A and B are shown apart, each in its own frame.
Chain A
């Protein structure tokens, strides 16, 4: 190439094109406008006012922990190990005033697991009702 500057431009454009072509997948989840994203092989967990959402970069695991009874001063610890099936502890609400949070009296759990083949396992507890759901089966238990 005769012009060195043109050659540099071509190199930069080629590199940019290669970089965008090899970009990894970024998986994101938005709950009430709060966004958490994971790239390939990465893990991200986000807890906003007691509601936790974890996203695995491979898309194989997604967990959501619903809000439970408020515990002032107590923070829920969520880490990558929770993706393997950590305890579903109730979490604290953003509002400490029990008078305005009637739902907090009900223990609530919401776990949504999906593997790369599209198989799902849903575990949901709302007060005295426990619901297990897979692709073919739904079990509801009322105490």
Chain B
């Protein structure tokens, strides 16, 4: 067997490997029938995946300054995707003397048919003398 033949054979095997991996890979199914039923609940026109990211930065820097921020992200339509991901992050800073910073972030989203992931993170700081910082983060998943 010539050297060229060996290389050709090796390339043929290497190119065949990924196809074999795809056949045995994929999402491990627990109770395949129930998960298939869940997948079949996906209504026509609804997305397979839905991701919502709501980020707010609010700051009151001056003396006696006031800063108020309200953010609302709501899911419209009533579609339930297979996978739903919601991220809420807020930074609220009352840095000026006697300043007031208020931040309110609300998110309403659908529950995924297969999986739902939420991430909520906030940083709230009242550093100025006699300052006040109030932060409300609400990351809600519907039924």
Interface string of B110-143 (1 = CB under 8 A from A): 0100000010111111111111111111111111
Q: Count residues on chain B whose CB falls below 8 Å from chain A CBs.
A: 29
Stretch of A29-37, A124-132, A133-141 at the chain-chain interface: A29-37
Contact A92 B134 (CB under 8 A): no
Residues on A with beta carbons closer than 8 Å to the beta carbon of B126: 37-39, 42-44, 57
Contact A36 B124 (CB under 8 A): yes
Q: Count residues on chain A whose CB falls below 8 Å from chain B CBs.
A: 32
**Contact partner, B125, options A24, A37, A78, Cβ 8 Å:** A37
Contact A96 B140 (CB under 8 A): yes
- Assuming the contacts A44-B124, A95-B141, asked whether A75 and B104 have C-beta atoms less than 8 A apart, the reply is yes
Chain A minimum-CB-distance residue to B135:
A46
**Contact partner, A34, options B118, B120, B127, Cβ 8 Å:** B120
A34 to B123, CA, bound (A): 6
Confirm or deny: A41 has a beta carbon within 8 angstroms of a beta carbon on chain B: yes
Contact B132 A46 (CB under 8 A): no
Chain B minimum-CB-distance residue to A50:
B138
Residue with the greatest number of chain A CB neighbours at <10 A, chosen from B127, B132, B143: B127
A33 to B90, CA, bound (A): 12
Contact A75 B118 (CB under 8 A): no
Query: Within residues 79 to 117 of chain B, which ones have a CB less than 8 A from any CB in chain A?
Result: 94, 104, 106, 111
Contact B142 A42 (CB under 8 A): no
A49 to B105, CA, bound (A): 10
Residues on A with beta carbons closer than 8 Å to the beta carbon of B140: 72, 92, 94-96
A143 to B143, CA, bound (A): 33
Contact B138 A97 (CB under 8 A): no
Chain B residues at the A interface, C-beta cutoff of 8 Å: 94, 104, 106, 111, 118, 120-143
New A-B pairs, 4, CB < 8 Å, besides A26-B127, A46-B122, A94-B138:
A39-B126, A75-B106, A94-B139, A95-B140
Give 8 closest A-B pairs by Cβ, nearest first: A42-B126, A44-B126, A36-B124, A44-B133, A39-B127, A46-B124, A47-B136, A42-B131
Sample of 8 A–B contacts (CB below 8 Å): A34-B123, A36-B122, A41-B131, A43-B132, A46-B134, A46-B137, A94-B140, A97-B142
Chain A residues at the B interface, C-beta cutoff of 8 Å: 24, 26, 33-50, 57, 72, 75-76, 78-80, 92, 94-97
